Chain A
């Protein structure tokens, strides 16, 4: 079974072709970092998998299910959006209940409430929370149900160092359980610490897919950032 399989995906916004004949096959679970400069198509890729962006052509399969005109498959994916902005007048508790409700009445927020010390905030309105607390709520919502696949868009922006350590711990635990976790981020230390595989995008195409070790060997660099910069420069100066 392929976890995610994308075949010849094309997506353009107006004249701007973001993904061009994009192919991707993910078979082994683990933490996969999707990297690339701004505008390389990371968000479009993620949103296509989630069905938020509708491709011009091509097929996407999640756990071998074709996602076209399908919405049930989304119960397989936990998604954490980049910007945490929730209905202002609902309480944290109500939001947890709402998301559980939408996911078929299942789920348990308690471990995360304890971990992030959110219990004092449960009855507060979401409009009154600080950015960091909202991000913790966002994280909790993502993991409220046990899913085989998680997609996290810039998951650690705005988190304090203690929460960051906890988030990394959760991600490692989920990986041990055999989950697939897709992460987009610009924070290279996180990538180096956690990733089993990295995918480097440039102009809507994959320029590298493999482990960090393979990346360093291929571009004869000791530093991952330098190796990525090399791909970037090699392929932009030619144009």
Chain B
């Protein structure tokens, strides 16, 4: 698995897209730091970008990478290696290269700014953790989608649809449900519904750390009331961890049965 990971990573990190992705975060972070003196505000602006963009990029890259390397995967399948190792290796190679772009794009400007000597460092760390989780989770989703769909257009469509649903439509539907059933006690429903969306979980994880109740929204407030900030963070972090494991397990399961 490590061998596959190594070469997949080398292949991807040298691609033009990795540089573009890195440059995007680098320029955005740099400009935000330049424009605002308030680090908390910069972190919140970045959060809003990362929560939408990193799942989108991970989704698109996941499907494109799978379909692009389809023929090479066949060659690998004929080598004396276990099947699951090939797919997990490729998936991790993809995720690591995206993570490196994200990490460096954020870290370099912040390091120049002097984040390591600033009290905001842990807020910054949580922001990065959330971004990395979302990259893992959405790359996992899209890799599964590609494994299940031979048709590229269909696979691509599904991946975008999942992103659109979780990043954009989910909050609207959720809010509508809360308004419609406002006569009922909704705390548990709200908690449950939030746990089903990794993007919401990441947002809550960051906002609990930043302790900005105004931005938390209903679910964040419920999380805060129900668990308190520390416990809320642990629980949202754990839920994100599960969201990372599930697609990985599904990749192993599907790849062991699939015909190529």
Binding site for B on A (CB under 8 A): 13, 47, 50-54, 71-75, 77, 79, 81, 83-90, 94, 98-99, 101-104, 141, 151
Contact = CB atoms under 8 A, between A and B. Distances in A.
Contact of A81 (B8, B74, B80, B83): B74
B214 to A, nearest CB: 45
A87 B8 contact: yes
A195 to B, nearest CB: 22
Contact of B3 (A54, A85, A88, A102): A102
A98 to B, nearest CB: 5
Contacts of B72: 85-87
A99 B4 CA distance: 10
B260 A47 contact: yes
Interface string B1-22: 0011001101110110000000
A232 to B, nearest CB: 27
B41 interface: no
Contacts of B8: 87
Contacts of B257: 54
Interface of B: 3-4, 7-8, 10-12, 14-15, 68-72, 74-83, 257-260
Given A85-B72, A89-B10, 13 more contacts: A51-B77, A53-B260, A71-B83, A74-B78, A85-B69, A86-B72, A87-B7, A87-B8, A88-B68, A89-B11, A102-B79, A141-B75, A151-B78
Contact of B71 (A72, A84, A94, A98): A84
Contact of A101 (B3, B12, B258): B3
13 contacts: A47-B260, A50-B77, A52-B78, A54-B257, A54-B258, A74-B80, A75-B80, A79-B78, A87-B72, A90-B11, A102-B3, A102-B79, A103-B79
B79 A52 contact: no
Contacts of A47: 259-260
List the 8 shortest-distance A-B pairs measured between CB atoms, nearest first: A85-B71, A79-B78, A87-B11, A75-B80, A89-B14, A74-B80, A52-B260, A53-B259
Contacts of B12: 89
A84 B71 CA distance: 7
Given A52-B78, A81-B75, A98 B7 contact: yes
